[in-house]
Amino acid sequence: MEIVTFDQPKTKPCPFCAETIQARAIKCRFCSEFLNTNKAKALEAGSTPNSAPDIDKEKNENVLFSGRPSLWAMAAAAIKGLIFLALAGFLMAYPLEELSIFQKTENPTLPAHDAPAEPAPESEVAENPAEVEETSRFTLSEEQVLLFRKYRIVAGLGLAILVMLILLIKMVKLKMTRYEVSTERIEWSRGIFDRRVDNLDMFRVIDLKLRRSLLDCIVGVGTVGLITTDKTDPEFTFEKIRNSRRLYDIIKKASLDADRRNGVVHIE
């Protein structure tokens, strides 16, 4: 009987958290630290990094791109906001309470030669009260006119304040978003009061595209979209970023370098 033996995979301790991981791993599955950096190599070799400033310097040197979305990303929201602001201005300026549907309707007096010789029968008068009521049910009294005018101005002012507040929040939220691209990963932070920071490994990028409309070309912005194997963010977008062509080239080169380090061969 033939005996089949299986070789156990080689393991090693993580230099950061000391957990047992695969010997060929480039990222620890426990502490999520990369093992191919100079800091990790120094720890594996048994030496310590020189100093904190040197680590920060190395980190800053590895940053290839850093930026924020442009305010042009709010173009659609700004157009909608202007429409609602125009509506608010119309409510505050135009006297809706003076429209004819809110005024009293009076039956015009007929000329003497057109006046009927005999009064209308009681049956015809009895058949028309609904019409009389219909023509006068929207009539507003003086107090109602003043109240209508007051609430019309308040509604217009409230709508204008609400639209301005929404646009301001969107602008602050947009400018609080920051992208940072290094040779190993893509990191972005967002949020006003609840700040969140996520990162995407560069070797997970499998495709990218650049989209620029005519207006984007004029103002110098563009949108870079990524398709990745990341479960959290399978599609990631740099929305309306300046120097988008440079960002596209940086991510393309960095992802190819990451694939070469991991032994991924691209067949063209």
Domain extent listing, the chain: 8-49, 74-105+118-174, 182-268
Looking only at the bridges linking them, the beta strands covering 178-182 and 20-22 are: unpaired
Q: pTM above 0.85?
A: no
Distance between CA atoms of 40 and 207, rounded to whole angstroms? 29
**Cα dihedral across residues 17, 185, 175, 225: positive or negative:** negative
**Higher pLDDT pick, 168 / 109:** 168
- Going by pLDDT thresholds of 50, 70 and 90, the confidence category of residue 122 is low
CA distance 54 to 40: 14
pLDDT for position 98: 75
User: Would you state the CATH architecture of domain 182-268?
Assistant: Roll (2.30)
Residue with tokens 């070469």: 260
Q: How far apart are CA 131 and CA 73, in angstroms?
A: 55
Give the closest residue to 221 by CA, choosing from 197, 190, 200, 245.
Answer: 245
What's the residue count for the chain? 268
Q: Provide the edge-to-edge strand list for the sheet that holds 235-242.
A: 205-211, 221-228, 235-242
Give 12's pLDDT tier (boundaries 50, 70, 90).
confident
Look at residue 177 and give its three-state secondary structure.
coil
**What pLDDT does 82 receive?**
94
- Cα–Cα distances in angstroms (integers) from residue 13 to residues 10, 101, 230, 255, in the given order: 11, 83, 25, 27
Percent of the chain with pLDDT over 90: 26
pLDDT of residue 57: 45
> Which residues, in sequence order, are CB contacts of 171 under 8 Å at separation 6+?
71, 74
What are phi and psi for residue 74, nearest 5 degrees? -95, 15
